[in-house]
Amino acid sequence: MAIVGPSGSGKTTILNLITGIDRPTAGTVSVDGRRIDAMTEEELAVWRGANVGIVFQFFQLLPTLSALENALLPLDFARRGSKRERFERARVNLELVGLGEKLDHLPAELSGGEQQRVAIARALAADPQLIVGDEPTGNLDTRTAAEMFELLARLNAEGKTVLYVTHDPGLAARAQRIVSIRDGRVVAD
């Protein structure tokens, strides 16, 4: 599903509510039948770690960690598998996004597009059922963006829910569902 709308319309706020990063001032937020607005911060962290992969618009990579270490973070936080299994999963995800040769590079040593791909690999770390992206291909060249979208489409075909915000009409058109937002309200679905 794609969420589209002008700057300031509420697209990122919707993503932040769905992922539990922000809390609603009124109403409720349910994801897959679970009321996430009623969860404690600790419950939210556990739920998010097990169920949600997030690709932030501005990457949010830790500058002192390598690409592999950044891609490994969600698995370390969730304590999923052995250390060896976690490293292998992160390595496979980096290969999946075309960065198998740059595992040891720091974010400053990577282009913007490469950093975005590390962020996508990190979002895939815990094999989440929900993948949320705020302009997930916005910093990629046309060819790499198409490859990353194909990856997201393949994950969707395998049963994962993919929800993303985009300003790119072509990318939005590739979604099975498009929701248009204006001034914090859904104007088309």
Using one digit for the tens of pLDDT, what is the confidence trace for 169-183?
A: 888 998 999 999 999
For 132, list phi and psi in degrees, rounded to 5: -115, 130
Q: How far apart are CA 104 and CA 3, in angstroms?
A: 34
Q: Which residues pair with 58 in a beta bridge?
A: none
Give residue limits of the domains in the chain. Answer: 2-188
**What is the band of 35 on the pLDDT scale with cuts at 50, 70, 90?**
very high
Q: Is the pLDDT assigned to residue 139 strictly greater than 80?
A: no
Q: Is the pLDDT of residue 1 over 90?
A: yes
Q: Tokens standing for 39?
A: 């969860």
pLDDT at 155 over 80: yes
Average pLDDT over residues 155-181: 90
Q: What is the mean pLDDT of residues 136-161?
A: 83
Amino acid at 12: T
DSSP 98: T
- The pLDDT of residue 169: 84
**Distance, CA of 145 to CA of 17 (rounded, Å):** 26
Q: How do strand 30-31 and strand 178-182 relate by DSSP bridges?
A: unpaired
Q: Is residue 28 predicted with pLDDT exceeding 80?
A: yes
Question: Tens of pLDDT along 58-73?
Answer: 778 999 999 999 999 9
Return the sign of the alpha-carbon dihedral for residues 100, 106, 111, 116. Answer: positive
Total-model pTM: 0.84
The domain over range 2-188 is classified in CATH as 3.40.50.300: yes
Q: Which of 109, 118, 64, 112 is nearest to 91 (CA)?
A: 118
Neighbours of 178 (CB within 10 A): 16
